[in-house]
Structures are given as C-alpha cells and as structure tokens.
Structure 1
C-alpha cells in the first residue's frame, strides 16, 4: 500500500512539474535566454554577472530589443527586458498612469524609504512638487554656484596639486566621490564633512552609500527568498545593507535633530530673515512650519536620502566616465580646451573656476558630457510594474504586475537609435550645423529619465559637471595608468570597478 502511495505521489509530482514546465513555455513567448528546468534563465545571468551590462546589451540586440526573462521556478522573478525607445516612451509617458514603481520596488529599494524615487501616485506628486519648489528658489542657483566654486578652489585643486607634486597615482573616482559628498552635504545639510583633503580620510557614511547601492543591485539578481533569508540571518550582502542603513540613518537623523534645534533658536530670537546661503533641509523645514504642516523626521530622512543619491552618486558617475573618455580621446580634449580659450579667454586667474553663465556658453563641452552620459548613464537600468494588461509598441503583451526593466546602458549602444557609430565617443553628434545643441527626445536619451518622472536636478547636475570639468582640464592633463581598462561595477549606479587610476600632469600654458 505504502509503495503504491509512493508511486502515486511521484506520478502526481512528475505530472505537476510537466504541466508547470509547459505553462512557463506558453507564458514566456519571447525568451531571451535558455529556460532551464527549475533554475529558469538565472544560470546564464550568473555566469555573465561580471559583465552583465554588456551581456544584456548583446542579448537584447539578438532578440530585437525586447524579450522575457524568467527566474527559478516559484520565485516570481519574471521580467520583461527592453531597450526599445518606443516602449520606453509608452511606459514612461503615453501610459504613465498604468505603470508604477510598486511595492516590490519599495521592498528592494527600502533604503530610499517613501522618498521621490520610490513613491507612486499622490505621494510621488507631492514629493515632486515639493522638490521642484526647493530647486526653483530664486537664490538656489547662486548658492549652488558658490558652494561648487568654493569646494573646487579650496579642496579639489589643492588635492590635485598635492598629487602632482608627490608624483603619485590617484583614484579619480574616489576623489570625485569625496568632492560630490562634501558638496551635497553642504547643499542639503549646510555641513561640510571635508572628505576631500590631502590625507584622504575614511568616512564611514560615504562608504555606507556605496554598500547600499551594491546590495540593491544584488537583490535584482538573486531570488527574493534568498536575500530575505540572508537579511533574517544577518549574513552576506544583506549584513552590509543593514549596517549601511544604520550608519546612514544615524547620520541623517542627527543632522535633522541639529537643524530642528537651530531653527527653534532662530524662531525664538525672531531671526527669520532669509539669506542666499540656506541649505535645502533648512528651507524644507521652514516651508513646513510656514504651511502649518511640520514634516516628521521620517519624511525628512527619506527626502534627504533621495537628494544624496541623486546629487552625489549620479554626479560622481558622470564625472568619472567623462574623464575616462576624455583622457583616452585626446582630440576631444583638445577641442574642449580650444572652445574654453575661444569663448572664455586665457586669463589664468579667471579660468580657475568658471561661473554658471560662463559654462553655459560651452557647447562642445555640453556635447561631450551628453555623449559620455549616453554611453555610461549613471543609472544603467530603470524598472516599472504594470497595473493593468497592456500591449507595448513592440507587440509584446504585458500582464498585470509584469515588471519591465529598461536597459539604458543598452539603449546608448543601439545602432537603431544612434547609428552605426554608436560605440564611438563623438561629441559632434550633439552639435548642429549652426553650432547649437541638437535636440534628442528624452525617450531615446534617458540619462535623466523621461516623461513626468524626468529628473528635476538635470540642470543642477550639468552645472556641477561643467564647473568641475573646466577647472581640472584648464590646469591639468590626466593620464590613465598604462594598461588600465575601465569596467562597470555591479551596482544600481554605474561606477568604474576598482576606480579610475590616473597620474596628474600640469598643463603647459
């Protein structure tokens, strides 16, 4: 009897597996990779994880730009991958209200809290309107310019001078990480931690941001049950995430408490006059008090964290890849320098750190930055979840709760979008015959997102990148260490694995 029951159970199990196998085959109509029994398509991803961005680009090209990915059985790790700009426009603009970040996104990106990057619906609209208001304050651009100018003049250039005098190799990415961290701390919190100094101090909070980003990427390539178990056991990558979030929260909440205390003192003394040098957190807290809806610590913490990721990580990535490309393309470097000389002049003192109005004149530099962002977008992929069934322009059907991953890195390498020379670094593709900037629809050039979620800090980012780029290029020639090849890291922000090692040479005037 027991033997018969055992055979029956085995038969039922086998039948169930066969039915489930064929169900997956039917539901996965456009497979990107080989769908192995039980393991799904995950094995090929894990085997190519070290080059995942280029691997995804190759696969999407072979499959016409869009296809299905299915993870291990019963993990619900199923995605629709796409690099088709028409699909991007449909999801991010045309049918915007049918596609959300969703609860799964917020679970994976838990460090972002309920801030702008993770919010949906009314919460997203409220956060976006508030941040738009903060960035459009009449004094903000002047405050930004003054902050960047001071940090370049008092820290960045002296550190580069020191490195030059020592004749040593420097990790330019680490240097930019420190620069942007100091900048964003001052812009958001009114506090400069002085990470960028000649002794290169180790700053725990700065390291925590990097580890949080790496863990979020890790959560995209392993089943949820695995990383949830790691989190529960407090092991592996999730242990780093827990410790990083603790460090980040302690730092941000301490800053919020200090701001509340200072603001209360100002109110008691009737010191309410506005100045041009007011950080975003202070402005936000004042705005809350004036509206009679004082923001709680959690809301402020989430807003500050989102500011940090947008204002630090993205700018660091953009600067690092820009200098990698310029250092390995001397003709582009020569043209940037020629434009600076032609439109700004060659006065040594005047050229140290350019103003906002001066950098806006540099069209070729703008093209070079756009070209760098095309090839190496700071956020290499974007994800959305469908609320209702839909049909994409590519002809692919979407079911409710389907997660769509847009590969921005792959889009920058698409011949259909950019032509046969898409792998070349050509700032000229951004410049018209009349010498102006060529307009490219944001659903094709998605470095700053597209549609209603277009990045509010786009102009702020360009200002910082241009001010830093011109200050460095005017005084120094950067030479990449011989034999070094830049490779993308594995994180939600596209940085260079192991940094960008360069030597510094004084430019002959």
Structure 2
C-alpha cells in the first residue's frame, strides 16, 4: 500500500511539473527554442553553439523578428531577442531613457571598468560630453591617425607582406590586421608603438589578452553567474586563463599613465596646444582636474577593445568577401586608381558597409529596461528585463534588405547620383544608434579605407583552398580559425 501511494504521489508530482512547464511556456510570447524542464532553452542553444549566430537568426525569422529566450531555473537569464528595426528604434531612440546597460551588464563587463561603454544616466552624459569635445569637435586626432597609419604602412605592413610574398608562404591575414590595429591603437592612445607587426611575428602578451578577454565576456553571457563563481573558486574555467595576460596589459596601461603624468608635470609649461599629442596626453592635459588614473585606465581599455577588435573584425570579413568576389575587387581597384583621397572612395565605403552588414563586429547589443514597457512588436517588457538586439540577424533580414539579403552587393549602398545612401541607424546598427551612436564612426571608416587601399592597391589576396571560415564565439565577430591567405604582388 505504501509503495502504491508513493508511486501515485510521484506520478502526481510529475504531472504537476509538466503542467507547470506547459503553463510557463505559454506565459512567454514567441519562444525561440524548445524549453526543457529546469534547463530552459539552454540545451538547444548549447548543442548548436558552434553556429549560434545563424541558429538565433533562423529562430527570429520563424517568430517574425522577436522572441523570448528562457534560461535555466534560478539563473535570471531570461531575455527578449529581437531583430525588428522598429523595436531597435524604440529602444535606442524613442524610449532611450527607459533602456540602459544596467548593473548586470557592468558585472559582465567589469574588465572595462567605469567608462562610457558601461555607464548610464548622468555618468554616461558627463563622459560622452567630455569625450565628444575632445575627439569629435576637433579634427586633430583624425589627422594624427592618418599620419600614424601612413607611417605604419610604410615601416611595417609593406615590409611584412613583401617578406611573405618572397617566401611564398601562407599567412593569417586576421593576425596581420590585428597586430596592425593594435600598434596603431597604442600609438594613437598611448604615444608608443609596441611593434607587434614585424617579420618574425613576435608574441606580445598584452595584445594576446584582448582576444581572450572578448571570448571571456561572451562566455559570461551564456554561463550562469553562480557556475562562473564556482569555477573561479575551483580554479577552472576561462576566467582563470585570462587573469595573467590581462593583468600584464592592465599593469602596462597603469605604468604608462603614471609615467606620462610625471612627464607632463615637468614639461607642462613648454607643451604647445597644437602639438600632435596622443589621446592619453590630451586627456591628462585637458581633464587633469576631472580625470583620475583609474578613469584613464578604464578609457584606455575601452578604446583598445573598440579600436582594435572591431576594426580587425570588419577588415577580416571584408578581405574574405572581396577575395571571393572578383567583380567587386575589380571595381574597388578601378576606384582606387581614379581617386586617391579615401574620403571620396564611394564604392570602397559601400563595400565596407556591406561587409559590416553581413558580419557586424559586435553581433549583439544588450539593454535592460528600467520600467515596464511595450515594444512596437507587441512584446511586453517588465522592469529589469534584458533585451538583445541581434545585429547579425538584422543584417540578414529580408524585410530590411530585400530578397538578395545574403548577397555581398555594395551597389545597394549607392544612389543613382553616385552617393552613399543613408540607411537609418536603427536598421544598420553596427555603429550603435540614437544618443549612443559611436563617437568614432567616421575615424573608423577612415582607418579601414586607408588599410584596405594600402593592401589592395599593392597585393592580391587569395584565400587558401578549403580554409574553414566560421565566426568565433566572442563579443567581437572574428574568424575562429583566422583567415589563411596567399599574398601575391600586383603587377
């Protein structure tokens, strides 16, 4: 009798649990994946993690552009994912005040410190106003960047690629671009060149730390915080691997800041306003009363992530697309011969936009609601709900780009008059949208166009046959296996 009662009780508990799961499933509008008991939608996501960007894109297309992701029980990982441009416009512009980064975002991105990238409200406004006055209103940094890039092309990029051509060796173009952008970032922000791009491809510890940091932050998005803390306590997990190289770069930044402060305090009377000072020197001189060493370090780390990782990503996918589309390459080369001024290279600009559309350097934008809201798609947003704007999926939306959305077609960006067509930022959100639009958008395009021109006008890039091409699992959309190419000199 006891065994029968126990069996009935167990059966009743199972029925209750299954009914609860079904009820809970119905509480969410447009679930993205099949929900498992206790584990939520994590199993199908983890099973397809190797192609998660495409999997999420396909799921959003099935749900009309917006759906709910349900995380494991007690992990607070439930979220809304969307590639609907009207939702993006609502979140990033129309109801901007109700959506911010939030405390959970700052925990995930704590490596960045307290910066423009992680802050909200008044703290964000103060930093943006200060940085806008320095880097946007003044064209000095744009000119300084051009000077640094031209010098770097002549002294490092051309000698390295010439060496590769002479030896007929395959080279990882993504690694070349990563080293180039790291050196440029160091020169522009810190005023010193670590010379990571050299013929012998030296191992630079702090340069390596960036890719690991980006992978680590992506990992934090998909692993519950409690499991991450347990892994750290046990001395295992990705966060343990990042400690040493990250601390090396952190130390490098802090020592450089301290050294520069000491130099400026001794030479302040002889320093002239119009000198070509790096960003760190300018920040110290202009904001000496408002910017302490921690803020300088935090801004430095953010600048390197933004300047190195995103440009490396955009150019890597661009060169792969151009190398596999000879007709596009021919049009770019024709324009380069006709127009030396990069600002006037319309077709090259369009090709870069098209590469960034298909492979956005930052594939997801995360926001958290402060108050209750209703999205234009009809999805209800509760306070503290997390929303992911899926930029990778937006770039593959037929609604936005038409039936040929998967084609690499720079012409879609060019008007009949030959000008770049303005696409609203909430449809092409790779440089953010609304009040948080990227301050460095223009300067980034200049750098990308200068680098693309320098390489394409002198060399032809051939992708190594059967080289696997897939995105890495990181907050920055790099290639998992790099971009192995054979370089030949143009005649």
Quickly name the TM-score band, shorter chain normalised. over 0.9
The 5 Å alignment of 1:92-491 reads 92-136=92-136, 137-267=138-268, 270-289=269-288, 292-293=289-290, 295-344=291-340, 358-491=341-474
Secondary structure, aligned partner of 1:360: helix
Instruction: Tell me if the contact between 2:108 and 2:220 (Cα under 8 Å) persists in the aligned partners.
Output: yes
Q: 1:91 & 1:476 partners in 2: Cα distance?
A: 43
Q: 1:20 & 1:286 partners in 2: Cα distance?
A: 61
Instruction: Tell me if the contact between 2:471 and 2:478 (Cα under 8 Å) persists in the aligned partners.
Output: yes
Secondary structure, aligned partner of 2:344: coil
Give the superposition deviation at 1:233.
2.6
Match of 1:51 in 2: 51
- CA shift in 2, pair 1:266/1:19, >3 Å: farther
Instruction: Tell me if the contact between 1:212 and 1:244 (Cα under 8 Å) persists in the aligned partners.
Output: no
Secondary structure, aligned partner of 1:157: helix
Q: 1:392 & 1:53 partners in 2: Cα distance?
A: 23
Give the superposition deviation at 1:155.
0.6
Q: TM-score, normalised by structure 1?
A: 0.92
Secondary structure, aligned partner of 2:361: coil
Match of 2:486 in 1: 503
Q: 1:10 & 1:271 partners in 2: Cα distance?
A: 83
Give the superposition deviation at 1:248.
2.5
- Which runs of no fewer than 5 residues in structure 1 stay unpaired? 345-357
Give the superposition deviation at 1:11.
9.4
List per-residue Cα deviations over 1:152-203 (Å, max 9, x = no partner): 1111111111100111000000000000000000100001000000000000
Instruction: Tell me if the contact between 1:143 and 1:276 (Cα under 8 Å) persists in the aligned partners.
Output: no
Instruction: Tell me if the contact between 2:468 and 2:481 (Cα under 8 Å) persists in the aligned partners.
Output: no
Match of 2:35 in 1: 35
Q: 1:134 & 1:427 partners in 2: Cα distance?
A: 33
- CA shift in 2, pair 1:339/1:297, >3 Å: same
Give the superposition deviation at 1:483.
1.4
Q: 2:457 & 2:296 partners in 1: Cα distance?
A: 39
Match of 1:351 in 2: none
Q: 1:417 & 1:485 partners in 2: Cα distance?
A: 29
Which piece of structure 1 moves more, 182-191 or 122-131? 122-131
Instruction: Tell me if the contact between 1:164 and 1:504 (Cα under 8 Å) persists in the aligned partners.
Output: yes
Instruction: Tell me if the contact between 1:387 and 1:400 (Cα under 8 Å) persists in the aligned partners.
Output: yes
Secondary structure, aligned partner of 1:383: strand
Q: 2:139 & 2:84 partners in 1: Cα distance?
A: 39
- CA shift in 2, pair 1:234/1:5, >3 Å: farther
Instruction: Tell me if the contact between 1:375 and 1:412 (Cα under 8 Å) persists in the aligned partners.
Output: yes
Give the superposition deviation at 1:132.
1.2
Match of 1:348 in 2: none
Superposition CA RMSD, Å: 2.0
Instruction: Tell me if the contact between 1:321 and 1:372 (Cα under 8 Å) persists in the aligned partners.
Output: yes
Instruction: Tell me if the contact between 1:212 and 1:240 (Cα under 8 Å) persists in the aligned partners.
Output: no
Q: 1:259 & 1:5 partners in 2: Cα distance?
A: 77
- CA shift in 2, pair 1:236/1:195, >3 Å: same
List per-residue Cα deviations over 1:233-273 (Å, max 9, x = no partner): 33111202333432231111111111111112213xx2232
List per-residue Cα deviations over 1:266-305 (Å, max 9, x = no partner): 13xx22323432010110011123xx33x22211111111
List per-residue Cα deviations over 1:78-127 (Å, max 9, x = no partner): 01010111100000000000001000001111111111111111111111
Q: 1:8 & 1:483 partners in 2: Cα distance?
A: 59
Instruction: Tell me if the contact between 1:140 and 1:276 (Cα under 8 Å) persists in the aligned partners.
Output: no
Give the superposition deviation at 1:10.
7.2
Give the superposition deviation at 1:334.
0.3
Secondary structure, aligned partner of 2:192: coil
- CA shift in 2, pair 1:218/1:139, >3 Å: same
- Which runs of no fewer than 5 residues in structure 2 stay unpaired? none
Q: 1:130 & 1:173 partners in 2: Cα distance?
A: 33
Q: 2:7 & 2:233 partners in 1: Cα distance?
A: 37
List per-residue Cα deviations over 1:319-359 (Å, max 9, x = no partner): 11110000010100000111112233xxxxxxxxxxxxx10
Q: 1:140 & 1:155 partners in 2: Cα distance?
A: 21
Q: 1:337 & 1:144 partners in 2: Cα distance?
A: 24
Q: 1:309 & 1:133 partners in 2: Cα distance?
A: 21
- CA shift in 2, pair 1:30/1:196, >3 Å: same
Q: 2:159 & 2:73 partners in 1: Cα distance?
A: 56
Q: 1:216 & 1:437 partners in 2: Cα distance?
A: 35
Q: 1:145 & 1:122 partners in 2: Cα distance?
A: 33
Q: 1:281 & 1:130 partners in 2: Cα distance?
A: 14
Secondary structure, aligned partner of 2:287: helix
Match of 1:355 in 2: none
Q: TM-score, normalised by structure 2?
A: 0.96
Q: 1:459 & 1:36 partners in 2: Cα distance?
A: 46
